[in-house]
Amino acid sequence: MGHAKTSYVCLPCRASYKQPYPQPYDSPRERRCPRCAGGLIHVGSAFAPPRRRDVSAWRALSVVLHAGIRFHKSCCGGPGYRPRTLSEVKAGLARARRTGEPVAQALLRGP
């Protein structure tokens, strides 16, 4: 039986990497991108990366990740709704400005 893995993302390289979960006894270390040596962002085990050439989807993902949203599995399934296109992200940001709710909550609300 293999060890459980989770996804890490390098936004400048538009690349995703599966790596083992950090162990509780390990010293905290920053994971580095093999391509550019920049820091990787832990996105969770339920992450499905967009194609590398889909710049629009990576820009939308960047906004989602910078809002603090991750892709962790729940006990009953996947992570739930996450915006995948720039138009969905723009609609969520407009909703956050209009209603005054936090950006992360507005992005997770859906269309």
- Render 58-81 in DSSP notation, one character per residue: HHHHHHHHHTT-----BTTBS---
Per-residue model confidence as pLDDT tens digits over 46-95: 889 999 999 999 999 999 999 998 888 766 666 678 888 899 999 999 99
- Find, among 55, 50, 41, 98, the residue nearest to 109 by Cα: 98
Task: Give the pair of three-digit tokens for residue 84.
Answer: 């995948």
pLDDT value at position 30?
A: 83
Q: Is the model's pLDDT at 1 over the cut of 60?
A: no
- Provide the domain limits for residue 102: 5-108
Counted domains in the chain: 1
What average pLDDT does the chain have?
86
Instruction: Label the pairing between strands 15-20 and 5-10.
Output: antiparallel
pTM of the model: 0.82
